[in-house]
Structure 1
Amino acid sequence: MRKISNVFYITIGLIILAVGYGVIDPEHFEKITSAGKSFVATSFGWYYLLLMTLLVGISIYLIFSPYGKIRLGKDTDRPQFSTITWIAMLFSAGMGIGLVFYGAAEPLSHFAVDTASAEPGSNEAFKEAMRETFLHYGIHIWALYGIVALSLAYFQFRKGEPGLISATLKPIFGDKMKGPWGTLIDVLAVFATAFGVATSLGFGAVQINAGLNYLFGFSIGVRSQFIIIAVVTVLFILSAWSGLSKGIRYLSNTNLVLALALLGFILILGPTLLIFNIFTDSVGGYISHFIDLSLSTSPLDADNRNWLDAWTIFYWAWWISWAPFVSMFIARVSKGRTIREFMIGVLLAPSVFAFIWFSAFGTTAIDIQMTGVADLASANTEIVIFQLFHELPWSGIMSGLAILLITSFFITSADSATFVLGMQSTYGSLTPPNSVKVIWGLIQSTIAIILLSVGGLGALQNFIIIAALPFSFIILFMVYALFKELNTEENIPHPRLAKRKKHKNDE
């Protein structure tokens, strides 16, 4: 156990305290965390909007700047995984269950139930719903993941630092990152990862349970969800045991195949022409409204401001809380790629796929709602997609595919998280011991099971969003440290370095 760092023991202690609080007094836990989440959204919403937009700008700059040719590793290193497998891994770790859970439900909600500003059920609400969904799952979150992952990969593979968040801040704080302050930063990252994935496991179990009930009449309840989590836990621990190149790689490719198959069914059996028209129109609307969508705070419109707090700002905080996990995983599988190809791949591939996915599922759901075939908007979020399938041919096949996809995403997310948690609690080891990964896998599942039993997933989600605020400041430090170190690279035409060289030559 010598490889295990203090981060492991400290985080375990904090997890026990947080989960214990949620079990002993779940109502108070919910009340306190909900108040904290509201305060963060109301007081720091402007900051989140500026931060996410700044990261988009930096990401685009890196693609076109001279830094783009720098390789994440030695100059002779080449990517470990093929481009398709790499994209599949990005897609699986960064989106996961959310695509299936919200693919139809979110655009439908923005259209019929909780619109941003348009009249519910109107044509304008249809357009607005797609633009807002594209915003929440598009370029911004991948710029966030990309910048954090780039910083981790650069310092780990190019500079030989351990794969820790704290290690990326050494250019600013030096050896202080080897002491208590570095431990604090890494504990925050591990804590957010453990609880963020546990929350997703809980929501995934709820949706799998709903799908099995809809298809086969399985009872809905905590007992069924326990069984689902237990079965999936065994599967993802087996996958984690097999290693990165086997388990996660095969699962990620499987996810992509299943997702493409399900998407193909919807494109063919749904309102095909309308889907493609809405996709094209929504991409145009997303681009033309990009600045306004990115920076609108609605300071003089209380209703719209409440909507922003509940959706956009909530999403930004939620994605920031997921950044340690997703970005560490992306960094780990990206060794050997240049900064340019890394940023292009991370920004565009998942975003474009998400746009197509939400256009297909969202348009089909809204079309069913508008034509009066079924009232999908009144269904619970976890069941919307299955009711959508019920209104189309081959509903049984699509529902079965959806359950398989959710389960596969479920396993991949937990598998990836055990790997990342193992790295973070063993001094950044690229090959954390299987025993550590198994322990983290059991901890994540236990958190999900306990909080499902007491109805504490919502409170936990609030708690993670609160924790995202301090991590957002760490991200800014990471950006500064990254550019500080990039400016020391040789053969990069940087104006400041050119002036220094000219001054030395003149002397």
Structure 2
Amino acid sequence: MNLKLTNSGPTAPADAAGEREILDGPLQDSPHPALDHTIEEHRADAPQKLDTVVFGVTAVIAIGFVLWGFVSTETLGSASDSGLSWVVHNMGWLFSLVASGFVLFVIWLAAGKFGRIPLGRDDEQPEFRTVSWIAMMFSAGMGIGLMFYGVSEPVAHLVEPPPGTGAVGNPEAVQTAMATTLFHWTLHPWAIYAVVGLAVAYGVFRRGRSLLISSAFAPLIGERRANGPVGRVIDILAIFATLFGSAASLGLGALQIGSGLELVAGIGRAGNGVLVAIITVLTLCFVLSAVSGVSKGIQWLSNTNMVLALVLAVFVFVVGPTVFILNLVPTAVGSYFQDLAMMSARTDAAGGDAMQTWLSGWTIFYWAWWVSWTPFVGMFIARISRGRTVRQFVTGVLLVPSLVSLVWFAVFGGAGIATQQGGTDLAGADSPEATLFSMLQTMPLSTLTSVVVMLLVAIFFVSGADAASIVMGTLSERGTLSPSRPTVIFWGAATGAVAAVMLVVGGEDALSGLQNITIVAALPFLLVMVGLAVALVKDLSSDPLVVRRAYAVAAVEQAIVAGVTQHGDDFTLTYEQAAPGEGVGDLVTLAGPNVTADESVHREDDHGDHHKDEVLTAPTS
């Protein structure tokens, strides 16, 4: 195609009907990479056969881990400690760089030329209204974590500031505590989720690929490898990460429910026996919910849980230090952005053993936990985001949950800090999971609110873990959204068993067992995510919308220079067929899954780069 220059004299307007006849002709059926063409979408709801390799390998690893933990807890604990020290010391920099890099990466995607690309066809509208889409995101990702750390983390950073941020009780301790908490719970985790969510949503809805993590690697390693042994390794690592991430959440939930039972039921300190019993009950609940098909019931429970969480937050806000909480919001936001660069750069090089210990218990544990949850949360937000543009996706996924976390930690963290400063030693509670209950004991209706907390934790986990077990089933059965019941039951039971082992390995400090093994298990999938980001950019670079823009820029630039040279200000731009090798296509370099090095994009028929195109501008001067 060439743009034809026409002197803009008093000629009759172009024949619009004739132009439309051309545009509605064979060009629309062309597989040219500049055109949005019809794809045969993968039937995600269709039953699929079990991938015996993916399922078999991950099942053997899971069973082996459980047997190791119960037969020789001491050696597993020693191995996890050694693995943790190696990962934090040798790979802590990678966790820090990747987590912060993903924040910049997704913002770059949204703000740049890829932002207009839809997660679907060119003219496709969002599947869900914006309000519904935002509401559904609330059910993903962080329910148990917000309950567990809502009070305990800000208070912990208040009484023991991170290394290098000042002595205990320094004037800026409150600001540091809130900034550090928001650093762990706002932009960084949701940027990690957004990378996987974008890659999956784009591949499924725009390219018609299967609902597998490995399918998103097709532009990087090719369809054959993505569907072959390399792809299976990627899906195995995704299941492995999801298994341990879900188990860590189940363990946190068990710890918090056990702590609540100590206060409400007066059962004494909840030992491993009580915690394993709690895990067993919760596991049975979410396995039953995952295989029963009562999706409406689970959705109703999830909605009820969101209402209960809102009621609890409003109660603490009203009954607690309301003015202090309101003052804390701008302080927390300002401190977060002021300290963001410093917090992002923390490694054990900055503080030796003390920094290494702190990072393993906080920042690197969080980054590993979020990475391990990305297959589940990423696939969930991908499935609800069809029809959104890349820019809308990133904006919604980054900002909405971050605002929720800000409000949540301002309310609960602010109440906890005020209580600690008022003379009640929340930091001296028996364990971190008891901190929230200790704070509620200082408020009216403490027994009722403690019961509500335990109920919230239980439902948060049941409604999230049943979806996680289905995701592991999906990855085990070639991308189906309807995995078989035996597969779902196996992964549900495996999650509970792994959680029990992780708690037992921690001994008296059960939380450390959860953290240590989560960090070690997440490292392989962190490397997968780096490759996923590269594959996503390569995929987006060959999107029809991007290709069309490249053609438009090349064509218009060429025509404007020639037009001004030949006619000054008096010219218009039309189109005409060019000879092979002389069209606009020769000015455009394409690369991606649709155009390979062996495929010429300069087709010499009537439907390729040399074909006529529509009028680009109106007459000037």
What TM-score comes out, normalization by structure 1 length?
A: 0.92
Comparing 288-297 with 493-502, greater Cα deviation is found at 493-502
Name the CA distance, whole Å, in 2 between partners of 1:81 and 1:252.
18
Aligned pair partner of 2:316 in 250, 253, 266: 266
Aligned pair partner of 1:433 in 484, 506, 515: 484
Structure 2 residue 50 is matched with structure 1 residue 4: yes
Partner of 1:479: 533
Partner of 1:240: 290
CA contact (8 A) 1:56 1:143 kept: yes
Name the CA distance, whole Å, in 1 between partners of 2:454 and 2:524.
36
Partner of 1:470: 524
CA contact (8 A) 1:240 1:248 kept: no
Distance 1:491 1:383, change over 3 A: same
**Structure 1 unmatched ranges of 5 or more:** none
CA contact (8 A) 1:88 1:252 kept: no
Q: Which aligned pairs between 1:10-29 and structure 2 lie closer than 5 A?
A: 10-29=57-76
Structure 2 residue 151 is matched with structure 1 residue 104: yes
**CA deviation after TM superposition for structure 1 residue 210, in Å:** 1.4
**CA deviation after TM superposition for structure 1 residue 229, in Å:** 2.8
Comparing 288-297 with 195-204, greater Cα deviation is found at 288-297
CA contact (8 A) 1:233 1:442 kept: yes
What TM-score comes out, normalization by structure 2 length?
A: 0.76
CA contact (8 A) 1:89 1:252 kept: no
Q: Which aligned pairs between 1:238-317 and structure 2 lie closer than 5 A?
A: 238-241=288-291, 243=293, 246-297=296-347, 299-302=349-352, 303-304=354-355, 306-317=357-368
Distance 1:48 1:498, change over 3 A: farther
Comparing 107-116 with 441-450, greater Cα deviation is found at 441-450
Distance 1:9 1:134, change over 3 A: same
Structure 2 residue 187 is matched with structure 1 residue 139: yes
Counterpart code for 2:257: I
**CA deviation after TM superposition for structure 1 residue 474, in Å:** 1.5
Residues 168-196 of structure 1 show CA distances to partners (whole Å, capped at 9, x for unaligned) of 11111111122222111111110111122
Aligned length: 506
Residues 431-463 of structure 1 show CA distances to partners (whole Å, capped at 9, x for unaligned) of 323443233222222333455456576446423
Partner of 2:426: 376
**Structure 2 unmatched ranges of 5 or more:** 1-46, 559-581, 587-621
**CA deviation after TM superposition for structure 1 residue 345, in Å:** 1.2
Distance 1:495 1:310, change over 3 A: farther
Residues 457-500 of structure 1 show CA distances to partners (whole Å, capped at 9, x for unaligned) of 64464233223222222212111111111122223378766677
Name the CA distance, whole Å, in 1 between partners of 2:120 and 2:293.
21
Distance 1:338 1:253, change over 3 A: farther
Distance 1:79 1:244, change over 3 A: farther
Name the CA distance, whole Å, in 2 between partners of 1:262 and 1:461.
28
Partner of 1:187: 236
CA contact (8 A) 1:93 1:416 kept: no
Distance 1:244 1:324, change over 3 A: farther
Name the CA distance, whole Å, in 2 between partners of 1:489 and 1:23.
51
Aligned pair partner of 1:159 in 207, 217, 221: 207
Name the CA distance, whole Å, in 1 between partners of 2:293 and 2:124.
21
Name the CA distance, whole Å, in 2 between partners of 1:33 and 1:92.
31
Distance 1:247 1:482, change over 3 A: farther
CA contact (8 A) 1:195 1:447 kept: yes
CA contact (8 A) 1:19 1:451 kept: no
Residues 196-235 of structure 1 show CA distances to partners (whole Å, capped at 9, x for unaligned) of 2122212211211211221122452334334433333333
CA contact (8 A) 1:170 1:481 kept: yes
Structure 2 residue 258 is matched with structure 1 residue 200: no
Name the CA distance, whole Å, in 1 between partners of 2:310 and 2:516.
33
Indicate the percent of aligned positions where both proteins have the same amino acid: 41
- Say what the alpha-carbon RMSD is for the aligned residues: 2.5
Partner of 1:363: 414
Comparing 424-433 with 303-312, greater Cα deviation is found at 303-312
Aligned pair partner of 1:128 in 176, 192, 200: 176
Counterpart code for 2:320: G
Distance 1:446 1:309, change over 3 A: closer
Name the CA distance, whole Å, in 1 between partners of 2:200 and 2:105.
16
CA contact (8 A) 2:241 2:525 kept: no
Distance 1:459 1:235, change over 3 A: closer
Comparing 435-444 with 276-285, greater Cα deviation is found at 435-444
Query: Which has the larger Rg?
Result: 2
Distance 1:313 1:225, change over 3 A: closer
Aligned pair partner of 2:498 in 430, 435, 447: 447
Name the CA distance, whole Å, in 1 between partners of 2:501 and 2:84.
22
Aligned pair partner of 1:46 in 93, 101, 108: 93
Comparing 195-204 with 162-171, greater Cα deviation is found at 195-204
Partner SS for 1:3: coil
**CA deviation after TM superposition for structure 1 residue 16, in Å:** 1.1
**CA deviation after TM superposition for structure 1 residue 25, in Å:** 1.6
Q: Which aligned pairs between 1:334-345 and structure 2 lie closer than 5 A?
A: 334-345=385-396
